[in-house]
C-alpha cells in the first residue's frame, strides 16, 4: 500500500519530468526528436494521472490515463510522424529567437507561474497542489514554442504541449475534470490533429513550403 | 362611426405590411400585377388619410398592441399632431403610389422589382408607424423600419458605384441620428422611471415627468441633432444631394416630400409635447440653424446643374423655412406668448404639408423628365415644353408654388412665417429684437433666390431649344404618371386658394401644443380672408387674388387677341445673324454666374477655362473647354477631417496586423501574462 506522502513525492518527480520535457520541446532543433520528447511528456502525464486516480480512488481517472496513453503517446506522434515522412520535412527547425534566450525566457515564465499560483497553493488541500505551478509553466512553455518556431508542424507540437499542460492542471488542481469533458477533449485533440494534417497539405500546395512566414503574403497591403 | 380613426390607420399599416410580405411571391413582370402592388398602397394611404382627417376633429385615441418584447407592448396614440402628419404622409403617399404604378413599368425586364415593392410598402408603413408610436421602443423600431427600407430604395439601382456610396452615406448619417434620438429617449426615460424598470419608456409617462434643466437641455439637443440628421439640416445635410439623384424619382418624391417631415414631427413631438420648452435659446438655436439651412440650401440649389440634386438642395432650404417657424414658435412659447407661438407653429406645419405637395410634384416631374430624356444634367435638356406639354404645365405649377407665388400654396406658408417674424419685435430682449429683422431679411433673400432658382430650372429645361439629341425626342409620360402629378398640382392649387380650410383644421393641433390657435375671433368671411392676428395688420385672400389674376390676365389676352392678326413664327433674337445654335442659349451655369461671382466665398469653386490646344490663330478659336466644379464646403470642413481621422486610426490599428501567426500568438500570450500579473 502506497502512502499519500509517497504518492505526492512520486507525483512531484513526474511533474518535474514533465517540466523537463517542456523545456526539451523548447530547445530541441530536430523535428523527429521533438516528437519523441512529446511522446515522453504524454507518458509521464498518463502515469501521473493514473497515480492520482489510484491515491484518490477515482476510477474515471484510469480511463483518462488510458486515453492519454493511447492518444498522446502513440496515435498523435504517429500521425505527426506520418506527416513528416509524407511531406519530407526532416530539416532542422528554424527559430526566431536563439535557443539560449528562449531558455531564459522559459525560466522566467516558470518563476512567474510559481509566483502567480502561490495563493492557490495556500488555499488548496489536495496532495497534488504543488504541481499546479508546473502545469501552468507547461502551458506557457507550449505557447512559447508556438511563438518562437517557424514551421507549422512545430506549432502543432507546441499546441499539443499546451493541451498537456492544461490536462495536468486539471488533474493536479481538482483531480480531473468530469468524464464527459475529458472524453470530449480527447476527441477534440484527435480531430484537431486530423485537421492540422489536412491543412499542412493545403498550406504546402499553396505556398510550396510549410514555413508560416510565407503566410505573411496573405496580408493586405495598402 | 363604428371604426375608430386609429383603427383606420392601423388597418392601413397592416395593408402595407401585407403587400410587402406578399410581393416576393407575385410575378411582378406582368404589368397588371405590378400596378396592383402600387394601387394597394394607394388605397391604404387613402384609408390612413381618412383616419388622419378624423383625428383632427376627434379626441385623442390610444391603442396597445401586445407585440414586441415581453412587458413592452407597442403603445399607439393618435392625436391631432399625428393626424396632421398622417394626412401629409398618406396624402403624398397615395399620389406617389399612383405615379409609381406608371413610373416603375419602365423597369420591367431590366431588373428585379420584388425588392423595390417590398421596401416601398415597408417605407410607407414605417413612416405611418412613426407618427402613431407612443413609446420610445416602438418609435425607434418604426424609425429604423423607415430608415432601412429607404436605404434599400436609394440603393435600388445598385450596379452604379456612386449610388451605392450615396446609400451608404445616407444610412450612416441616419444611424448616427437614430443613436442620438435613442440617447435622448434614454435620458428622459431614465429620469422618469429610473434604469431599473421600463415603465418610463412610454411617451405618456415621459410627458408627466418634468426634467431638471440640464437634463432637459441635453435631451432636447440630442433629439434635435438626431432628427436634424434625418431632416437634412445644415451641416448634416450632406446625404441629401447624394441620395436623391441616386434614388428612383418616386422614392425621392417620398423621401424629400414626407420622410424629412417625420423628423419635423419628431422635433415637435419631443420639444412641445414631451419635454416642454424651458429655455428661449433652444428656439433661438433652431431658428439660427433654420436660417443657415434655408440660405445655404437655396444657394447650392441655385448653382446646381443636376435637376435632382437641385431639388435636394431645395429641400434643405425648405426644411430651413419650416425650422424657422418652429424656432420662432418655441421662442414665443418660452416667452409665454401663446398666440404668436401658435401663429409660428401654424406657419411651420402649413409649410410641412405644402412642401410635401409641391416638392413631391417637382420630383415626380423631374422623374418624368429624366425618364423621357435619360438625362439628369439640365445642360443637356431644353425645349421640352413642346414635346411634354402636360409635364411642363404641372412642373410650372410646382415651380410657382415653391417660389411662393400667390395664389399657390407655397405663398401662404411663407407669408405666415414672415408674419410671425414681423410680429416678433415683442421679445423682452433687446439683442433679439435687433437680430430678428436680420433673420427676416435673410429669409426674404432665400425666397427671392428660390424664385430665381426655379426660373432657371424651368427656363433651361422646358424653354428654349433642345441642347442635345436626347432632348429632341422625349414624350409625355403615361396616364398614371400624369394622374399622380395632376393630383399633386390640384392639391397645391386648392391649398393655395383655400388656405383657411387647412389652417382652421390645424387649430386643434396648435391649441393642444401651444395653448392657443390663430383665428381666435370668428370672422364673417373666414373662408375667404386669412387673418393671422388682426385684420388691421395683415390679411390675405387667395380667392380674391386668384380672381384678380384671372380678370387681369384674361382681359389682357382678350384685348390682344380681339382681332385676328397674322402671326409669324421666327427665330428669337437672332439679330440678323442667322446661325443661332442651341449652344448660344442661356445655360444653367451661365444663369447662375452672377450669384456665383457675388457669393463665391460661400462655395468651394474651381473654374478652368482652357483655350484650344492646337496652335491656331487666336482670332479663329474653334472650341474652348470650360470646367466648373462646385463643392460643398461643409464636406471639407466637417466630414473630411472625420473621415481622415478614422482612416488614420484604422491604419494605426492595421500596424498590429503583421500577418504572422507567431505575432498573433504573442499578443494573446502577452495578454495572459498581463492578466496573471494583475489579477
Q: Do B677 and A143 touch (CB under 8 A)?
A: no
Distance from CA of A135 to the nearest CA of B (A): 14
Q: How far is CA B239 from each of CA A62, A194, B163, B249, B636, rounded to the nearest angstrom?
A: 69, 52, 12, 16, 14
Mean pLDDT estimate for chain A: 81
| B566 exposure class (CB count in 10 Å sphere: 0-12, 13-18, 19+) | exposed
Nearest to A218 among B659, B672, B676 (CB): B659
Does the structure's ipTM exceed the value 0.85? no
Q: Round to whole Å and give the CA distance between B457 and B402.
A: 12
Which chain B residues touch A if contact means CB-CB below 8 Å? 651, 654, 657-662, 665-666, 668-669, 672-673, 676-677
Q: What's the structural domain count of chain B?
A: 1
How large is the average pLDDT for residues B590-612? Answer: 79
**Which residues face B610 on adjacent strands?**
B625
Most confident of A126-135, B537-546, B550-559: B550-559
In angstroms, the first-to-last Cα distance of chain B is 70
Judged by a CB distance cut-off of 8 A, whether residue A140 touches chain B is yes
Closest CA to A59 of A195, A211, A154, A175: A175
Mean pLDDT estimate for chain B: 86
Q: Round to whole Å and give the CA distance between B517 and B588.
A: 44
Q: Is residue B544 part of a domain?
A: no
Residue B6 has pLDDT above 70, yes or no: yes
Q: Is residue B331 part of a domain?
A: no
Q: Is residue B661 part of a domain?
A: yes
Search chain B and give the residue with CA nearest A109.
B673
Q: Is residue B650 part of a domain?
A: yes
Judged by a CB distance cut-off of 8 A, whether residue A61 touches chain B is no
In the prediction, which pLDDT does B1 show?
47
Cα dihedral across residues B130, B132, B137, B141: positive or negative: negative
This prediction's pTM: 0.78
Judged by a CB distance cut-off of 8 A, whether residue A144 touches chain B is yes
CA angle centred on B475, ends B362 and B374, rounded to 5°: 70
Q: Do A143 and B665 touch (CB under 8 A)?
A: yes
Listed in sequence order, the residues at least 6 apart from B305 whose beta carbon sits closer than 8 Å to its beta carbon are B377, B378, B379, B588, B589
Q: Which residues of B touch A146 (CB under 8 A)?
A: 661-662, 665
Q: Is residue B670 part of a domain?
A: yes
Model confidence pLDDT, tens digit, residues B378-420: 888 888 888 889 999 999 999 999 998 888 888 989 998 988 8
- B115 near B73, Cβ under 8 Å? no
Coil vs helix vs strand at B543? helix
Q: Is residue B597 part of a domain?
A: no
Model confidence pLDDT, tens digit, residues B63-108: 888 887 777 888 899 988 999 999 999 999 999 999 999 898 888 8
Q: Is residue B213 part of a domain?
A: no
Q: Do B660 and A212 touch (CB under 8 A)?
A: yes
Q: Which residues of A touch B672 (CB under 8 A)?
A: 140, 143
Q: Is residue B21 part of a domain?
A: no
Residue A222 has pLDDT above 60, yes or no: no
Confidence of residue B614 (pLDDT cuts 50, 70, 90): low
Distance from CA of B172 to the nearest CA of A (A): 24
In the prediction, which pLDDT does A72 show?
87
Residue B48 has pLDDT above 90, yes or no: yes
**Which cell goes with A201?**
497539405
Structural domain harbouring B663? 637-679
Model confidence pLDDT, tens digit, residues B497-550: 888 888 888 888 888 888 777 654 556 666 667 777 666 667 788 888 889 989
Amino acid at each position: 500500500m502506497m502512502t499519500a506522502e509517497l504518492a505526492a513525492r512520486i507525483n512531484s518527480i513526474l511533474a518535474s519530468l514533465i517540466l523537463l520535457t517542456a523545456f526539451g520541446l523548447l530547445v530541441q532543433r530536430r523535428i523527429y526528436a521533438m516528437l519523441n520528447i512529446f511522446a515522453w511528456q504524454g507518458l509521464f502525464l498518463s502515469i501521473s494521472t493514473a497515480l492520482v486516480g489510484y491515491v484518490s480512488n477515482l476510477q474515471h481517472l484510469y480511463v483518462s490515463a488510458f486515453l492519454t496513453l493511447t492518444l498522446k503517446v502513440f496515435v498523435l506522434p504517429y500521425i505527426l510522424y506520418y506527416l513528416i515522412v509524407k511531406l519530407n520535412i526532416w530539416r532542422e527547425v528554424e527559430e526566431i529567437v536563439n535557443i539560449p534566450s528562449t531558455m531564459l525566457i522559459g525560466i522566467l515564465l516558470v518563476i512567474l507561474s510559481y509566483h502567480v499560483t502561490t495563493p492557490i497553493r495556500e488555499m488548496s488541500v489536495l496532495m497534488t497542489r504543488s504541481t499546479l505551478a508546473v502545469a501552468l509553466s507547461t502551458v506557457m512553455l507550449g505557447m512559447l514554442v508556438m511563438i518562437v518556431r517557424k514551421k507549422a508542424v512545430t506549432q502543432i507540437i507546441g499546441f499539443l504541449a499546451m493541451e498537456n499542460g492544461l490536462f495536468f492542471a486539471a488533474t493536479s488542481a481538482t483531480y480531473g475534470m468530469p468524464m464527459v469533458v475529458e472524453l470530449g477533449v480527447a476527441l477534440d485533440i484527435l480531430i484537431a490533429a486530423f485537421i492540422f494534417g489536412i491543412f499542412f497539405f493545403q498550406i504546402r500546395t499553396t505556398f510550396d513550403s510549410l514555413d508560416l512566414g510565407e503566410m505573411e503574403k496573405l496580408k493586405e497591403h495598402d | 362611426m363604428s371604426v375608430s380613426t386609429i383603427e383606420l390607420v392601423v388597418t392601413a399599416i397592416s395593408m402595407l405590411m401585407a403587400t410587402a410580405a406578399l410581393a416576393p411571391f407575385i410575378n411582378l413582370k406582368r404589368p397588371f400585377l405590378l400596378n396592383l402592388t402600387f394601387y394597394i398602397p394607394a388605397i391604404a394611404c387613402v384609408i390612413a388619410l381618412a383616419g388622419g382627417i378624423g383625428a383632427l376633429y376627434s379626441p385623442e385615441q390610444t391603442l396597445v398592441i401586445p407585440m414586441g418584447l415581453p412587458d413592452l407592448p407597442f403603445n399607439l396614440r393618435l392625436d391631432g399632431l399625428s393626424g396632421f402628419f398622417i394626412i401629409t404622409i398618406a396624402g403624398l403617399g397615395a399620389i406617389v403610389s399612383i405615379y409609381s404604378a406608371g413610373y416603375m413599368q419602365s423597369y420591367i425586364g431590366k431588373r428585379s422589382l420584388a425588392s423595390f415593392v417590398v421596401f416601398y410598402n415597408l417605407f410607407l408603413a414605417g413612416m405611418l408607424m412613426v407618427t402613431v408610436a407612443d413609446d420610445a421602443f416602438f418609435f425607434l423600431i418604426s424609425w429604423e423600419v423607415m430608415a432601412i427600407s429607404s436605404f434599400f430604395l436609394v440603393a435600388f439601382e445598385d450596379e452604379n458605384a456612386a449610388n451605392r456610396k450615396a446609400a451608404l452615406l445616407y444610412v450612416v448619417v441616419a444611424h448616427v441620428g437614430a443613436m442620438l434620438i435613442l440617447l435622448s429617449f434614454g435620458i428622459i426615460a431614465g429620469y422618469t422611471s429610473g434604469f431599473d424598470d421600463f415603465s418610463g419608456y412610454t411617451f405618456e409617462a415621459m410627458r408627466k415627468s418634468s426634467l431638471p434643466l440640464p437634463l432637459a437641455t441635453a435631451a432636447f439637443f440630442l433629439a434635435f441633432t438626431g432628427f436634424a440628421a434625418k431632416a437634412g439640416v445644415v451641416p448634416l445635410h450632406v446625404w441629401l444631394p447624394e441620395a436623391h439623384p441616386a434614388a428612383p424619382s418616386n422614392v425621392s418624391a417620398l423621401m424629400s416630400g414626407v420622410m424629412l417631415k417625420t423628423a419635423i414631427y419628431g422635433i415637435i413631438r419631443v420639444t412641445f409635447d414631451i419635454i416642454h420648452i424651458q429655455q428661449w435659446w433652444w428656439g433661438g438655436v433652431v431658428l439660427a440653424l433654420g436660417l443657415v439651412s434655408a440660405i445655404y440650401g437655396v444657394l447650392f440649389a441655385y448653382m446646381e446643374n443636376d435637376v435632382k440634386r437641385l431639388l435636394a438642395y431645395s429641400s434643405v432650404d425648405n426644411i430651413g423655412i419650416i425650422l424657422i417657424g418652429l424656432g420662432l414658435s418655441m421662442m414665443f412659447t418660452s416667452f409665454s406668448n401663446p398666440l404668436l407661438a401658435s401663429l409660428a407653429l401654424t406657419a411651420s406645419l402649413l409649410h410641412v404639408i405644402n412642401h410635401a405637395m409641391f416638392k413631391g410634384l417637382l420630383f415626380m416631374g423631374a422623374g418624368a423628365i429624366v425618364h423621357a430624356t435619360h438625362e439628369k444634367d439640365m445642360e443637356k435638356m431644353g425645349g421640352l415644353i413642346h414635346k411634354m406639354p402636360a409635364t411642363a404645365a404641372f412642373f410650372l405649377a410646382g415651380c410657382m408654388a415653391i417660389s411662393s407665388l400667390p395664389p399657390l400654396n407655397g405663398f401662404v406658408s411663407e407669408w405666415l412665417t414672415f408674419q410671425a417674424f414681423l410680429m416678433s419685435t415683442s421679445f423682452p430682449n433687446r439683442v433679439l429684437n435687433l437680430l430678428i429683422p436680420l433673420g427676416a431679411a435673410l429669409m426674404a433673400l432665400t425666397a427671392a433666390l428660390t424664385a430665381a432658382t426655379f426660373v432657371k430650372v424651368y427656363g433651361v429645361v422646358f424653354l428654349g431649344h433642345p441642347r442635345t439629341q436626347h432632348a429632341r425626342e422625349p414624350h409625355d409620360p403615361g396616364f398614371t404618371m400624369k394622374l399622380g402629378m395632376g393630383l399633386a398640382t390640384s392639391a397645391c392649387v386648392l391649398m393655395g386658394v383655400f388656405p383657411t380650410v387647412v389652417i382652421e383644421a390645424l387649430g386643434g393641433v396648435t391649441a393642444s401644443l401651444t395653448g392657443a390657435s390663430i383665428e381666435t375671433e370668428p370672422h364673417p368671411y373666414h373662408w375667404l380672408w386669412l387673418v393671422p392676428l388682426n385684420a388691421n395688420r395683415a390679411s390675405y385672400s387667395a380667392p380674391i387674388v386668384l380672381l384678380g389674376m384671372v380678370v387681369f390676365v384674361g382681359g389682357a389676352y382678350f384685348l390682344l387677341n380681339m382681332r385676328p392678326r397674322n402671326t409669324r413664327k421666327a427665330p428669337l433674337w437672332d439679330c440678323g445673324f442667322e446661325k443661332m445654335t442651341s449652344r448660344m442659349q442661356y445655360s444653367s451655369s451661365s444663369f447662375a454666374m452672377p450669384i456665383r461671382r457675388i457669393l463665391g466665398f460661400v462655395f468651394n469653386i474651381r473654374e478652368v477655362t482652357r483655350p484650344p490646344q492646337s496652335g491656331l490663330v487666336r482670332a479663329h478659336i474653334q472650341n474652348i473647354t470650360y470646367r466648373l466644379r462646385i463643392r460643398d464646403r461643409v464636406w471639407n470642413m466637417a466630414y473630411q477631417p472625420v473621415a481622415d481621422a478614422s482612416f488614420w486610426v484604422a491604419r494605426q490599428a492595421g500596424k498590429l496586423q503583421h500577418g504572422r501567426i507567431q505575432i498573433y500568438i504573442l499578443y494573446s500570450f502577452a495578454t495572459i501574462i498581463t492578466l496573471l500579473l494583475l489579477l
